[in-house]
Structure 1
Amino acid sequence: MTSSVAGNMAVTRFLEAARGNRPGLKDLLLTPANIQRIADDLARMRGAAMKVGQLLSMDTGDVLPPELNQIMARLRADADYMPPKQLKVVLNKNWGNTWLQKFERFDVRPFAAASIGQVHRAKTRDGRDMAIKVQYLGVARSIDSDVANMAALIKLSGLLPKGFELSPYMEEARRQLHEEADYEREGECLRDFRQLLQDDDAFVVPEFYDDFTTKHVLAMSYVGSQPIEDAVKLDQARRNRIAGNLVTLMLRELFDFRFMQTDPNFANYRFDPQTDRLVLLDFGATRRFRENIVDQYRRLFQKGLAGDRDELKNLAHEIGFVTPETAPHHQQAVLEMIETVFAAVRTHAAFDFESTALMQKMNTAGSALAADGFVPPPVPMDVLCLQRKLGGTFLLANRLKAQLPIREILERFVTPKPMRNGGNTADGEGI
């Protein structure tokens, strides 16, 4: 793959030089032909390499040209399927050679595929309608080498800011991928989320079946639904309700549960068009947050909504968006980006997610920072996961063209609770 991409870059550079142009490395790399080749090869490789590709290809609205977004969408949507023979090997290894006797029906062709597994529909002889996620053969063993190869490819691309330390992020990717390859862990997270949301009619979480689950096979109830993107065809009120439930869920995960599914891939959210209930899938990237991180974000939202510039600056340092070593003019630029977001939220009764004004402002500011040599400091991984979830939820609401009273929704979660019995504790409960 690398040789092919390098060859394409060399040919393009020669052709552009013949025309009197001197394209930069980024322009040579990010051509449709190269992105197509990378997307196709990572989809064929599956496993950790494709997972890292999915993270890098997160839907970014107007950041990438439409052609590149369309090509990279393949990594968010599917992978090549396991051949039936390989599927049988995996199931025999996990369930024993007589596993088929327990099923009334087992669909060999998967109805969904992702980075490290594919999903089959089946019906057991005791009547359970199941969705069964089967991990690709050898994925867990290949994680370390795949992540190392992806790190090498990213470094060779020349797209990283000078001085940016990639190693901590790739090490976290390696650690997280090993967690996601443990389907027994994912099953426990699925069960915990189902219990947390059991009384919330806005959501459906599949039932976990531990008697068919192993480290490499995850069994859950099948839930009929449609892709979340299809909800864009609904009227404004229904789109607002769905998006509002998504935003509220994210805030509950952070402030109430301190337990969050941190992968906002669109494929992880589906909906029932009869009830508009959201179906939540894929809990492999679920993470528990330390109380200090939750407190920092609560104060960040409080001070942002209040327009308290001095406290926002303090929190930008405390959370790790900037450090004392960050150049003063870069600190100022980062603070202005944070203020831009809160100004948009504060000043509108209903925030219009379809409007591209805020995204364009942030993209312009971010590009200017990068061009000026800003090197992002290594933030805590909890913060990195939270920022990804915040950004992904924003993009989902943007895709749904939602209009939401975001300030009002945020205030419900971050406004300090009134004191009772003459005092209050850190979490707002009366003494």
Structure 2
Amino acid sequence: MSDLPRKAVTRTAKLAALPLGFAGRATWGLGKRIGGKPAELVAREMQQRTADQLFKTLGELKGGAMKLGQALSVFESALPEEVAGPYRAALTKLQEAAPPLPARTVHSVLAERIGEDWRDYFQEFEDTPAAAASIGQVHRAVWHDGRKVAVKVQYPGAGAALLSDLAQLSRFARLLGPLVPGMDVKPLIKELRDRVTEELDYELEAQAQRHHAVEFADDPDVVIPHVVHQSEQVLVTEWIDGIPLAEIIADGTTEQRDRAGQLLARFLFSGPARTGLLHADPHPGNFRLLPPAARTTADASGAEAGSAEDAEGAEDGSTGSWRLGVMDFGTVDRLPGGLPQTIGDSLRLTLEGDGATVYRLLREEGFVKESIELDPDEVLDYLLPIIAPAQAEEFTFTRSWLREQAARIADPRSPAHQLGRQLNLPPSYVLIHRVTLSTIGVLCQLGATVRLRDELAAWLPGFLPEDAEDAVPTD
């Protein structure tokens, strides 16, 4: 591949091949079974072939196709294990890897956006990308003052590609539905389209990252790399080493998983309270677990990135002082007052069993339309299993628990399915909802035991009774 495919007809053809490929493999599988091959073996081969095609097509196209793949990858925990296995490896690849742009294209962008003398800004610049994502790829470099930096270069034509891909993907969203039981993929695609302009604007991203970096500068648990330089289509930030969260998911120790999960939950709920912004792209490729000695290049020389096994014995041998490195602030939700108090009020009242008040809150916020009438007790029955992590002192997030919740909501025979179809998601909650679900998906991938209730009590308005002065009266 010599460049990002930009012609709409080319991209449309590649995307259209996905559903055609699904149908073709079904026919191939039927032939194999007629030929005497065991159905289970045929199904496994078909799933592997589908996963391979999914990664190849989404990875090559980058743009909206790959962004959807990244969004779906955090939900693989909800799939039945016999289906999830073949998809897991392919979707996980989308979190940090994709076929890279050639060096000449990268150099061209840098010359156009920084200047023909762009090499003078760097002591070193690695042409081979360290990571490739949906709209840009990241190169490791050394800034002219000696700092290790990450240079994010936006793909030429990324904006047009994003819009074209997502428009095409929405046309066969139903075919992607089985990848995430209980979730309608079409609204997810629409929400991704709504965020395209913001994500392409590296100035907005730089502002959001600077705000977070200042707020978390002395935080003992979270590391945000500072912005070093920003211009159109190029963003230079401090480099942070550490263990990619995808590696913790694959090979991490129990202690590493639990620490990463706790810090991820802490960042999710503390970020809006502290910055008025919600980091809205919580897939594992955007996080690192930093050993105790690791720092950004701004405050220390840093520890070299290594494997989970290598880092296990870092310094004091304890994961308790490890920190969470957070990257990519291209997609944020602006919440000046932090997360809405309605969320905390509803959680608290649901756990208290006050169905009437919860129902009234949901109606007032638009989760239940005026034309719909529901039984408050049935609403509680729907919500309680989902919010079990908020009730326990500590909760172990597992793939089996998430699969159980997905199956309960996806099964047309289930009361939860029938009730869920009558609920509405107000526009102002769409991104909050997706981020929460995505974070839960990552926690289940980690298999982390998390004291979620502690984080809710510390950061979510309305969750504690003493914060509930403005809650709806319970008359």
**Is structure 2 residue 325 aligned with structure 1 residue 307?**
no
Pairs within 5 Å for 1:11-22: 12-13=26-27, 16=30, 19=34
Shift of the 327–7 alpha-carbon distance from structure 1 to 2, 3 Å rule, reads farther
Identity of aligned residues (%): 24
- The match for 1:221 among 228, 233, 238 is 238
Structure number with the bigger relative contact order (C-alpha 8 A, sep ≥ 6) is 2
TM-score of the pair, normalised by structure 1: 0.82
- The match for 1:96 among 112, 115, 118 is 115
Q: Which residue of 1 aligns with 2:298?
A: none
Shift of the 293–287 alpha-carbon distance from structure 1 to 2, 3 Å rule, reads same
**Conservation of the 8 A alpha-carbon contact between 2:368 and 2:423:** yes
**Conservation of the 8 A alpha-carbon contact between 1:105 and 1:123:** yes
**Conservation of the 8 A alpha-carbon contact between 2:137 and 2:155:** yes
**Conservation of the 8 A alpha-carbon contact between 2:389 and 2:452:** no
CA distance in 1 between partners of 2:243 and 2:374 (Å)? 48
Q: Which residue of 2 aligns with 1:317?
A: 363
Deviations 1:33-65 (A, max 9, x none): 234223211110111221123223333314252
Q: Which residue of 1 aligns with 2:406?
A: 363
CA RMSD of aligned residues (A): 3.6
CA distance in 2 between partners of 1:182 and 1:80 (Å)? 23
**Conservation of the 8 A alpha-carbon contact between 1:333 and 1:369:** no
Q: Which residue of 2 aligns with 1:280?
A: 326
**Is structure 2 residue 353 aligned with structure 1 residue 337?**
no
**Conservation of the 8 A alpha-carbon contact between 1:78 and 1:115:** no
CA distance in 2 between partners of 1:238 and 1:42 (Å)? 31
Q: Which residue of 2 aligns with 1:112?
A: 131
**Conservation of the 8 A alpha-carbon contact between 1:341 and 1:358:** no
Q: Secondary structure at the match of 1:61?
A: helix
CA distance in 1 between partners of 2:449 and 2:176 (Å)? 39
TM-score of the pair, normalised by structure 2: 0.75
CA distance in 2 between partners of 1:357 and 1:147 (Å)? 31
Q: Which residue of 2 aligns with 1:405?
A: 451
Pairs within 5 Å for 1:124-203: 124-154=143-173, 170-203=189-222
**Is structure 2 residue 393 aligned with structure 1 residue 349?**
yes
Q: Which residue of 2 aligns with 1:388?
A: 434
**Conservation of the 8 A alpha-carbon contact between 1:197 and 1:203:** yes
Task: Report the Cα offset of residue 303 of structure 1.
Answer: 1.2
Shift of the 412–223 alpha-carbon distance from structure 1 to 2, 3 Å rule, reads closer
Deviations 1:338-375 (A, max 9, x none): 111334542x3322224x55324312211214886764
- The match for 2:265 among 243, 247, 255 is 247
Q: Which residue of 2 aligns with 1:74?
A: 93
Q: Which residue of 1 aligns with 2:304?
A: none
**Conservation of the 8 A alpha-carbon contact between 1:130 and 1:221:** yes
**Conservation of the 8 A alpha-carbon contact between 1:319 and 1:383:** no
Shift of the 135–333 alpha-carbon distance from structure 1 to 2, 3 Å rule, reads farther
**Conservation of the 8 A alpha-carbon contact between 1:228 and 1:267:** yes
Q: Which residue of 2 aligns with 1:270?
A: 288
CA distance in 1 between partners of 2:124 and 2:100 (Å)? 19
Task: Report the Cα offset of residue 223 of structure 1.
Answer: 1.4
Q: Which residue of 2 aligns with 1:123?
A: 142
Deviations 1:54-83 (A, max 9, x none): 223333314252112222222223221001
Give the unaligned 5+ runs of structure 1. Answer: none
CA distance in 1 between partners of 2:422 and 2:71 (Å)? 18
CA distance in 2 between partners of 1:166 and 1:398 (Å)? 20
How many aligned positions are there? Answer: 410
**Conservation of the 8 A alpha-carbon contact between 1:119 and 1:132:** yes
Q: Secondary structure at the match of 2:104?
A: helix
Shift of the 303–418 alpha-carbon distance from structure 1 to 2, 3 Å rule, reads closer
Give the unaligned 5+ runs of structure 2. Answer: 1-13, 293-320
CA distance in 2 between partners of 1:376 and 1:67 (Å)? 34
Deviations 1:369-393 (A, max 9, x none): 4886764765234422212222232
Shift of the 170–199 alpha-carbon distance from structure 1 to 2, 3 Å rule, reads same
Q: Secondary structure at the match of 1:340?
A: coil
**Conservation of the 8 A alpha-carbon contact between 1:293 and 1:382:** no
CA distance in 1 between partners of 2:172 and 2:104 (Å)? 32
